[in-house]
Amino acid sequence: MSATPLSNWMASPLKRILLDEIGIQWLDQPCKVDLEDISEDAFRFFMKKGKEAKRIPDDVPEDDMMLALRTMGLFRDDELSLTAALLFTENPDKYEYGAFLKIGLFDSNDCLMREDMLDRIPLVLLPDECMRVLNDEYIQPTYRYDTGTASRELDYLYPIDAIRELVVNAIVHNDYSMRQEVAIYVYEDKLMVYSSGLLPEGVTLENLRGSHPSVKRNKRLAEAFYAMKYIEGWGQGIKKVLSACKENGNPEPEFSYMSNGLLVTLHPKTYRNIDPENIGLILDQIDHTILSIMTANPSVSITEISSESDLSIRIVRYRIEKLRKKNIILREGSKKAGRWVVNI
């Protein structure tokens, strides 16, 4: 649903061809967005990050939005570009459908357990908001319990720096002409980041892990994230991901194509120093919250756990079943008059 001077009924592939012929990238199109639509909070955040990173000159005035946007090359034919709308308006999806990010939690049968749609956030704010939601709701630090004791050790199943790098890359390199949002799939045994668009010419799945050219599908978008020091300009992102996985003890990520887009799959940390019989005692914050409620009130119901933890009943049931299978909890007595027994 792009608000551009080109006809809205024109198919995206044909529009891309016409833009390529005149040397304009998709997000460089002029867009029917007014300066008043630019979020001042998003713009100030961008300027603060850029100046802290020393990548926006000190003499660029923070109170002259027009000058700053022109300096960034975000005008086309005296109109703000689509890049500007996606970076700085509070509803990027209004100007280009698919300019948002979604997160989904799935069980082993691919059944969606919960989801978050981050669809009314300027793209300059989207990576930080995405990581906040992921860390708070989906991939909380793991609590590793010692057998037979109540002591626990904080750990991370996934390298946070690697996930952040993948999220930023997905936002920056997403092919917005395909009108497909960036998606993060969270399973018990993997986390996947998807962005639309195939790898650029000269970059393959085989050479992605090594040195490869930094080809920018969205040049102005990349320049904005470079200015904030969220990315570098030398194609080093994947190397950072590989390094972070190795340092955290994770297997190397997998790279593949899915539905004309790039899918990166991370696998949880491998615990080589833990007895395999005790691997089931690796718990995350959601598990810990449920166990704490049960310990404080052994007769608590699933509905009461849901209310107290602010988790859906469906997720509480799913987590309780997992904890039962690991023999971490037992249920004694009937459903109404029974009690929970926590075995750690």
Q: Which residues contact 31 (CB under 8 A, 6 or more apart)?
A: 2, 3, 4, 79, 80, 81, 82, 84, 85, 95
Q: Backbone phi, then psi, for 7, in 5-degree steps?
A: -60, 135
What distance in Å separates the CA atoms of residue 171 and residue 151, rounded to the nearest whole number? 40
Residue type, 143: Y
Give all strands (DSSP E) within the chain, no chain letters.
Answer: 75-76, 79-80, 101-106, 112-118, 142-145, 152-155, 182-186, 191-196, 254-257, 261-266, 282-283, 329-332, 339-342
Q: Please report the domains of the chain, with CATH numbers, ordered by start residue.
A: 12-94 (no CATH), 101-143+154-266 (3.30.565.60), 284-342 (1.10.10.10)
Looking only at the bridges linking them, the beta strands covering 182-186 and 101-106 are: parallel
> Can you read off the two tokens belonging to residue 114?
């919960």
* Average pLDDT of the segment spanning 257-286: 74
Residue in 99, 107, 164, 159 with CA at minimum distance from that of residue 132: 164
Flag the least confident range among 255-264, 274-283, 306-315.
274-283
Model confidence over 123-152: pLDDT tens digits?
999 999 999 999 988 987 766 655 555 455
HSE value, Cβ hemisphere, 13 Å, CA-based, for 104: 15
What distance in Å separates the CA atoms of residue 98 and residue 196, rounded to the nearest whole number? 10
* Average pLDDT of the segment spanning 170-195: 95
At 10 the pLDDT is 42
Model confidence over 219-266: pLDDT tens digits?
999 999 999 999 987 678 899 999 999 999 899 999 999 989 999 999
CA 226, chain centre distance (Å): 18
Alpha-carbon Rg for the chain in angstroms: 23
Q: Backbone phi, then psi, for 74, in 5-degree steps?
A: -100, 20
Instruction: Answer whether residue 92 shows pLDDT above 90.
Output: yes
Residue type, 11: A
The pTM is what?
A: 0.78
Q: Backbone phi, then psi, for 304, in 5-degree steps?
A: -70, -35
Mean pLDDT across the chain: 85
Burial grade of 336 (CB within 10 A; 0-12, 13-18, 19 or more): exposed
What distance in Å separates the CA atoms of residue 186 and residue 110, rounded to the nearest whole number? 10
At 288 the pLDDT is 83
215/178: higher pLDDT: 178
